[in-house]
Structure 1
Amino acid sequence: MAPGRLVDEEVAWPLPTVSADQYSYEGAPRNVAYIQSLHYPKELRPKSYEIQGTHPDSQILFVDVKILEATGKLPYLGDVFIRGQRIEAIGHVPQKGILLKDPKVRVFHGKGRTLMPGLGDAHAHFSWNGSNLDRLGDIALEEHVLLTARSARCYLDSGYTMCFGAAAAKDRLDIVIRDAINAGDIPGPRYLANAKEIARTDGELVAGITAFADGPEQFEKVVSHHIDLGADQVKLSMSGEEITETRSAQDCYYTDEETAACARTAHNRGTRLCAHARARDSVKMCVKHEVDVIYHASFIDEEGMDMLEVKRNRHVVAPGINWLIATLYEAEAFGYPQSKAEKVGYKKELETAIRGLREMHRRGIVVLPGGDYGFAWTPHGTYSRDLAHFKNLLGFTAHEAIIASTFGVASLFMRSHEMGQLKEGYFADCILVDGNPLEDVEVLQDHDKLNIILINGRVHKAARSEYLPPSMATHGNNAIVPEDFPEVKATMQREI
C-alpha cells in the first residue's frame, strides 16, 4: 500500500514541546463521563468468564481504609466487607462489631492505607518473554506455555486484575492460559484472549508470530479461524514499526476492502477487532470500518481526529506510550542506542503521539493505559509506568490515569457493571496500597507498597503481619511480631 506519511505536515493541536503543566487541571476526573459514554453493541459482548476457587462462605473485612472507588469520588475513610467473590458492604459495614469478633472473618487493618480496584492493561502480551521479539516464534511450545503462565502471574503480582490480550505468539497460548486462570489452576488476572496478529504478506512485523492473509476472502477465513480457536478478540497488524527498519510506522498495509472484510466477519460472529495502527491512514480505516480498539494511533491527523471524535462512543485508543519512551531512551543497554532510535524515527513518533493523545483526552476520546510490556527494555512487572506517563505527558490527572486503568479497562471488557470500581455487588478485585496514589501515582510501581492483592475475593498477596490486630503489630506490651518471609523477586524474563 502507498504510505500515509505526515512528512513535515503540522496539525492544529498544541506542539509537543508544550509542557504537560500547561494542561494542568485540578477538578473532578473528566474521563468518567468519557468512559460512561462508551457503548459497544451488545452483540459484541465477550463471554463473562468467572474465576473458580473462591469459597462462597469466605468473609474478608477491611477496616480503617482510605477507599478510592475509581468512580470519580475523592477517597474517604471507611470499611469494606467481602463475602465470597463480591463486595457486600462499603464505607459503612453493618454489624461490624460482630464481624470483628467472628473467627471465620479474615480481618485486615488498613491503618489509613488506600484500598482501590485492581489495575487493568488494555494491550497485554502474556507470551512476550522479555527477550528478542524475532525469536518468539522459535520458542518451543512447552517452554512457551510456562513463560506465558509466568507473565500472567507477574501481572497479578503487580496489582493488575484485568488484562485485554493484544496478540499471542502462538495460536492458542492466550486461550489456554485464560482457561487455566478461570479454572483456578494458575494465578493471573481476568483475561480476554487473542491469537496471532494478522498481516498481509508485505506487512508483517515479525513473521514467526504472525498469521497471513491477502485479499478480503483470505482475511475472512483467517479471522474466522481465530474465532473458532476461542479468541475473545482478533488483532490486525495494519501498519509498520520503525524498529524493523523495513516497515515504517507511517505505512498502512491494509486496503479498505480487507479492513471491511475483517470487521464484517468478526462483528457478524459477535467478536471485536483491535489493530496495530500507528499510521494516519490505518487509524482512519479503523474508524471508518469500526475496528473497535485502536492501538498506538501515533500519526493521527486532523481528519482522523475529527472522525474519531464523532465516533468516540465506539472506539478506545490504547497507545502503549511506554514502548516509545523506553525504545528511545532506555534501550541502549540492550544494544539499541538512542542515536539509532532517533535516526529511524522514534523521537518524531513520540513527540507526534504525545501531541495527538493530549488532544484526544481534551476531546473526550477514551484513551486507556497499557501496551507492549514484555520486551527486554519494557519488562514484565513494570506495567504501571503507563499511569505515570499519562499524568506526566498526556495531560491526565493522577485520578484520571487510575480511572482509565480501572473503570476504563472494565468498560473495555464490557463489564463495568461489576468490575473496575469499588461498589457493593462488584467483584472483590482490589489492592491495598501503602501510600496515596492520587498524590504519588508512581507508588503503584513499587511492588513493596502493594501490601495486599485480592482477586475474586481471594487473597493473592498478604504478609503474615497483615493478619495481626494492631495491638500485636507493634512491640508494645511485649508482643511478638513474627518476621515476614523475605520476598523472592522473580527475575525478569530473558532468553531461554
Structure 2
Amino acid sequence: MAENADTSATASTTTVNGTSKNPLQPKNYEIAGTHPDSRILFRDVRILDSTGREPYPGDVLIKGERIVEVGTVSNIESLIRDPTVRVFNGRGRTLMPGLCDAHTHLSWNGGNLDALGELGVEEHTLLTMRAAQCYLDSGYTMCWGAASAKPRLDVVIRDAINAGDIYGPRCLANGQEIAKVDGELVPGITAYANTPEEIREVIRGHVKLGVDQIKLSISGESVTETRAATDCYFSAEDMEAAVDEAHKHGKRVCTHARARESVKLSILHGVDVIFHASYIDDEGMDLLEKAKDRVVVVPALNWLYATLYEAAAFGYPQAVAEKAGYKAELETAIKGLKEMHRRGITVLPGGDYGFAWTPHGTYARDLEHFVKLLGFTPMEAILAATAEGGKLFMREHELGKIQPGYYADCILVNGNPLEDIAILQDHSKLDVITINGRVHKSSPLEHYRPIPIAGEGDGRESVIVPELKFLTIERKMQVDL
C-alpha cells in the first residue's frame, strides 16, 4: 500500500487567466425557466443566512434567479405596490437557505431494493422523478447523488430538472455503484468490476453516460447477512486505479466504506467523499484529520438508527438488528463522528433515504440526529446542511446562503429551527419553498396585498386574495410549423 499516497486532485488547482480552477469542478449546471425580470419580496422575515450569524429581522429581494438585497431593501414601498412583484409577508417567520442531502438515492423505491433491477425503465424513471419532487417538497434544493439503480436515471432526472421540464432540486448525478462480484450489496443495481483494469473500464463507461461523480462499494452491510460491515472488498491496487481513472476524467469519488480498512484505503488513495466511516480506528482518524481540507464524511446516521429501532414493522426486529451488529455499529459510529466533529472534520447530513424504514420525505431527520446524537448545535447542523452543501457542490460562492448574489433557493419556515431542529421535518411548517428564483410551494393566502379596501382600516393587510399575475416563462409542448 502506498502509505503516503494522496492522488486526490481535490487538493490541487490549476490557474487559468489568473483564476484558480479545481480540476474536479463539476459542470456549472443552470436551471432553465426563471423569467429574468421576475421579482419576489419577502417582507418582515427572520433571516437565517447560514453565514454563522445569528438570525436577524429584515426583508429579502429576489430578482430573476438570484437574491439581490438582504436585510434592508431599497425602494420597498414602490415594490410593495408593484403588481408584478410577488410579495410574501413573513410576519417574523424564518427565511433560510434550502437544504442539501449529501448522500441521495433518487431511484430507490422505498421498499424492496432487490426488485429495482427488474423494474421497467419507464416505471423506474417515473419513480425517480417523483422522488426528486419529494426532495423539493421537503425543502431540499441540493442533492448529491450517491448511486443510481440504473445507469442513467440520475443523469436523466438531473438534465430534466435543469431543462425546467420537471420539478426537483439541483442535482449532481451518480451512476450505478461499482462493486466486486460477491462484494455487492444489491445485485440488480450494481456495476461489477473485479480487477483494476475492469474498474477503469466501468468508470470510463460511467463518464460517457454523463455522471458527475463515481461510487465505489468497498465494504459490506450487515443487513445482507452475508457481507459484514467490518469487511473490506477492495485492495490498494483497486483503489489506486479507481481514483486515478475518475480524477483523470474530472470526477470525484465516493465510497460506501463502513469497515476500518475501507476508510483508510479511501483516505490514502484520494477518495473525496466517504460514506458511513462507522468503524474508523485511531489511525484512520489521524489520517482523516490530516486530509480534512479535501475529504468529507457523510455518515447516513438515520439508516443506522432506523434499522436498529424502527425496522420491526417491516420484518426486521430489533433483536435481529442487534444480533447483526447494528447496535454496536451505531454506538461505534457516534463515538467516531463526535471525535471527527471535535477535530474539525467536515461531517454532512443526509443519506440512504428511500428504504422501507427510511422513507422518502423524511430527509431532515438527519439534522435532528446530528443535534441529539452527535452534539452539534442546531446552528451547526443547519450550516452543515446549507452552506457546507454549497461547498460540496463546489459553488459555495452562490449556493447555500441567504446573501446578495446567491441563487434564490429558500424556505420560509413557520417556526424557529434553532429552537426546534425537528420542525424541518414537518412539511406543513415549510410555508414557502423557492428554487432558482421560482416559487415551488406557497398558498395564495401568503401574498401581501397593500391596496386599501373600503371599510377595512388602512388596508395594509387584506384577507382578500389577489389575482396573481407574475412574470413567468411558458413552455409549449408543441411548436406549430
Q: TM-score, normalised by structure 2?
A: 0.90
Query: Which residue, 276, 299, 314 being the options, matches 2:256?
Result: 276
Residue segments in structure 2 that go unaligned for 5+ positions in a row: 1-9, 14-21, 467-481
- 2:444 maps to 464
Query: Which residue, 145, 166, 182 being the options, matches 2:146?
Result: 166
Query: Which residue, 376, 401, 404 being the options, matches 1:424?
Result: 404
Give the drift of 1:299: 0.2
Give the drift of 1:441: 0.7
- 2:221 maps to 241
Q: Does 1:324 align with 2:308?
A: no
8 Å CA contact 2:60–2:72 kept in 1: the answer is: yes
Q: 3-state DSSP class of the match of 1:428?
A: coil
Query: Which residue, 175, 178, 203 being the options, matches 1:195?
Result: 175
8 Å CA contact 2:81–2:450 kept in 1: the answer is: no
Structure 1: distance between partners of 2:193 and 2:450: 62
- 2:7 maps to none
Q: 3-state DSSP class of the match of 2:358?
A: coil
Correspondences of 1:348-359 after superposition (within 5 Å) = 348-359=328-339
Correspondences of 1:8-47 after superposition (within 5 Å) = 41=13, 42-47=22-27
Structure 1: distance between partners of 2:456 and 2:321: 57
Q: Which runs of 4+ in 1 moved over 3 A?
A: 38-41, 468-473, 475-483
- 1:68 maps to 48
Correspondences of 1:334-345 after superposition (within 5 Å) = 334-345=314-325
Give the drift of 1:470: 8.0
8 Å CA contact 1:40–1:313 kept in 2: the answer is: no
8 Å CA contact 2:80–2:450 kept in 1: the answer is: no
- Quick one: percent identity of the two aligned structures? 63
- 1:225 maps to 205
Structure 2: distance between partners of 1:40 and 1:276: 24
Correspondences of 1:448-463 after superposition (within 5 Å) = 448-463=428-443
**In the TM superposition, what whole-angstrom CA distance separates every residue of 1:33-79 from its partner, at most 9, and x where no partner exists?**
xxxxx967500000010000000000011110000000100000000
Structure 2: distance between partners of 1:463 and 1:394: 36
Q: 3-state DSSP class of the match of 1:367?
A: coil
Structure 2: distance between partners of 1:245 and 1:472: 68
**In the TM superposition, what whole-angstrom CA distance separates every residue of 1:59-112 from its partner, at most 9, and x where no partner exists?**
011110000000100000000000000001001111111111111111111000
Q: 3-state DSSP class of the match of 1:144?
A: helix
Give the aligned length: 445
Correspondences of 1:100-249 after superposition (within 5 Å) = 100-249=80-229
Give the drift of 1:472: 9.3
Structure 1: distance between partners of 2:449 and 2:465: 13
8 Å CA contact 1:472–1:481 kept in 2: the answer is: no
- 1:372 maps to 352
Query: Which residue, 389, 392, 410 being the options, matches 2:372?
Result: 392
* C-alpha RMSD of the superposition: 1.7
Structure 1: distance between partners of 2:224 and 2:55: 45
Query: Which residue, 431, 437, 453 being the options, matches 2:417?
Result: 437
Query: Which residue, 289, 292, 295 being the options, matches 1:315?
Result: 295
Q: Which amino acid aligns with 1:380?
A: H
Q: 3-state DSSP class of the match of 2:237?
A: helix
Q: 3-state DSSP class of the match of 2:386?
A: helix
Q: Does 1:56 align with 2:36?
A: yes
Give the drift of 1:154: 0.1
Residue segments in structure 1 that go unaligned for 5+ positions in a row: 1-37, 484-496
Query: Which residue, 411, 418, 439 being the options, matches 2:391?
Result: 411
Q: Which amino acid aligns with 1:44?
A: L
Q: Which amino acid aligns with 1:469?
A: R
Structure 1: distance between partners of 2:80 and 2:465: 22
Give the drift of 1:468: 3.5
- 1:28 maps to none
Give the drift of 1:138: 1.2
Q: TM-score, normalised by structure 1?
A: 0.88
